[in-house]
Chains A and B, each alone.
Chain A
Amino acid sequence: MERSDIYILCIEDEQEVLDAVVRDLEKLEEQFPVETANSAEEAREVIEKLLDDGKKVGLILCDHILPGDNGVELLIELHKDERTHDSRKVLLTGQAGLDDTVRALNEARLHHYIPKPWTREELLEVAVNLLTDFVIEQEEDILPYMITLDAEKLSESIRTRRSISDE
């Protein structure tokens, strides 16, 4: 499996929880390298570095309660930044109140909300779905992603978008 330049970013202040998220995403990591951050501040640094290296942030999984700026604020900021505007954004939390959640939906166009505790299957399914959408939307050649992501959806997009033609 070839490593793509699409990264998954997990932001969570509790190291144990962060480890659990990364472990659950293990199946994807070979193709979509996972980066982690413990705070919004660190997340910004990681993103800057990835973008400077010409990488893309495909999926952002973010806890709400973080030291400094909270998760929802960070996601709104990333949504406004055109470089991370298209990244798929997931709130992975137990503690976001209704107001924050509504803000995240309206202002960060949150793609998914996963309440804690989550199951590995659930997390993987969400990640695969969102990365599939990201790849269809952003990538020119989607064939390398058929094995790990949703092959049916990717084939369907080849049929309708005709990104590949007869030669």
Chain B
Amino acid sequence: MKSGSSGLTTVQITGLFLGIFGLILPFLLPLGTLSFAGQIGLGIFLMAAIFWMFEPIPIYATSMLVIFLQILLLSAQGPMYMDAELPSGEPVELQENTWQIPTNALKDDNTVLVVTEPGKTEPVRVDVVERNGRHVIVHSEELSADQPIVTDTGHRLVNYQPNSYTDYLGTLANPIIILFLGGFMLAGASVKYNLDKNLTRYLLSPFGSKPRFIILGLMLVTAALSAFMSNTATAAMMVTVILPIIAQLEPGDRFKFGLALSVPIAANIGGITTPIGTPPNAIVIAALTDYGKSISFTDWIIVAAPLVIIMLLFAWWLLLVLFPPSVDRFKLDIKGKLNTKPKAIGLYVIFAATVLLWITENQHGIPSSMVAFLPVAALVTGSILNKNDIRNLPWDVLWLMAGGISLGIGMDKTGLAVWMISGFDWGAMGYITLILVFALVAVAMSNFLSNTVTATLMMPLVISLHTSGVMGDSFNLLVTGIVIAVACSLAMALPISTPPNAIAMSTGIIRTKDMARIGVIIGTVGVMLILAYAVFYWPLVTN
């Protein structure tokens, strides 16, 4: 996050140049087996990763740039591939099993690429008999006179079948993005008609006035709302709830630290609960769905909710131990009255129907993304949201996610993802160690980077571990994906870790060291819990 004032910081300028350098770097290095398209993909990946880290441009802008570069450089209709044709020809048989082929058809490792089907080639080993200028005489039993071979092995179409540009553009209408659109519109309408505040008021009332239960109530309500709304909007609203409570405390009272920390912690954790809770979930679900491992709304809740509840209770306990309440009771006074105008009632009905249909996906089988179009259509049909409300939706987040999904498609398609995991003996690591390492890396990275970006950068690795099969049968794609999604949301040690953290910190109530201490404890305990769930619980509920 940076200030609105113009001008880039030194870090941002460094990032800008590093990113541009990253884009061309793959063409300056010998990268062995990586295809030409893979080099382009790697350049885009490096640029995106650097831009997302240093933020010389906003993170959603990087996402849009990724899509632009992909349609330009990788798509079948882009200038790079639009007229491209794989140069191929039949080998000339001189004697039995002795062939004359063009010099460029022979790779450095003495293989020839046989075209098996359009866009697909298979390397065939040959013995070089004689080189004479433009041709090579080779000996091989596997070549045949009617099977074409690639006559230029350095060509940009070797090992790459470009997909249509619409695949990259289409990520904005990916079902998971539409699911989020539905969620955003429900959330936008809830804010417009103050449903979020009124729900908070009703939901908090059973928790009474004892400080420890008020904190518990605050955390549960924050988590419940942020499971369906943006974590940031929920945290911002909850800050308006806790500020009057904190004003009732003595200036030196340490209990205020606990109160002010409870909101971002619960908002961050709450996002894990449902597919629409937070953008990293979308990145993971989109990638899993592409590999036939779709997970229903209901199943996601079954997977995530038990972990969310334990983490919330642990965080509650931790806050009470570190910052024990000093007073006996509080006055909790949230102003407001339930809006009973027809449009507001319409919203309540649409909200309830949508959420009900979402969480019962397993019972009726209608995909949640289809259900998501119910609020999209109904809220505008009923004029509950107007043109301006539609314009004010967080389109930046939708593009951020679309760019992330698109980057993943490109990395997979160009063979980049598989190339990146090659050269390391993953199988020797063991599945459980792998889960632990992935969870740790995700938590560590997303403390500094956007959660969505962390998921975007890690998911292609998970996918290629699956497709390459290097991990053997023990590898569970679905569980590993869930590990990434959950771990990304458990990073909350720094003000920059998540927007809810930034909001809570900016109130000036919390000290950075308290946030860091609690964030590190939650991250560590979270990783342990993820490991336990990944080994014992998630395999049982996902088949």
Contacts and interface: CB of A to CB of B under 8 A. Distances in A.
A119 interface: no
Contacts of A139: 4
Contacts of A159: 191, 196, 233, 236-237, 240
A141 B503 CA distance: 11
A146 B239 CA distance: 11
B507 A164 contact: no
Interface string B230-241: 111100110110
A144 B506 contact: yes
B295 to A, nearest CB: 20
Interface stretch (A9-17, A81-89, A149-157): A149-157
A50 to B, nearest CB: 15
Contacts of A144: 3, 506
Contact of B59 (A147, A158, A160, A167): A167
Interface residues of A, number: 21
A167 B191 CA distance: 19
Contact of B397 (A143, A161, A165): A165
Interface residue range, chain B:
35 or more
Interface in B96-144: none
A77 interface: no
Interface in B1-17: 1-5
A167 B451 contact: yes
Contacts of B278: 166
B38 interface: no
Contacts of B188: 162
B357 interface: no
A126 to B, nearest CB: 19
A66 B271 CA distance: 58
B243 interface: yes
Contacts of B230: 162, 165-166
A147 B517 CA distance: 22
A56 to B, nearest CB: 10
A120 to B, nearest CB: 19
Contacts of B236: 155-156, 158-159, 164
Contacts of A141: 1-4
A54 to B, nearest CB: 9
A158 B238 CA distance: 11
A24 to B, nearest CB: 21
Given A140-B3, A141-B3, A143-B506, A166 B244 contact: no
A140 B506 CA distance: 15
Contacts of B474: none
A143 B231 contact: no
Interface in B198-252: 230-233, 236-237, 239-240, 243-244
B230 to A, nearest CB: 5
B392 interface: yes
A141 B394 CA distance: 16
A138 to B, nearest CB: 9
B306 to A, nearest CB: 23
Nearest to A151: B507
Given A141-B1, A155-B243, A159-B237, A166 B279 contact: yes
Contacts of B239: 151-152, 155
Contacts of A160: 191-192
B506 A165 contact: no
A7 B243 CA distance: 27
Nearest to B238: A155
A5 interface: yes
Given A143-B502, A146-B506, A152-B244, A158 B232 contact: yes
A131 to B, nearest CB: 16
A5 B191 contact: no
Contacts of A152: 239-240, 243-244
A140 B59 CA distance: 16
A164 B237 CA distance: 13
Contacts of B232: 158, 162, 164-166
A147 B506 contact: yes
A167 B451 CA distance: 6
B400 A140 contact: no
B480 interface: no
Interface in B294-332: none
Given A141-B4, A162-B232, A166-B231, 9 more contacts: A143-B506, A144-B3, A152-B244, A158-B233, A158-B503, A164-B232, A164-B503, A165-B397, A166-B279
21 contacts: A143-B1, A143-B503, A143-B506, A144-B3, A147-B506, A155-B243, A155-B503, A159-B233, A159-B240, A162-B188, A162-B230, A162-B232, A162-B233, A164-B499, A165-B232, A166-B451, A166-B498, A166-B499, A167-B279, A167-B400, A167-B450
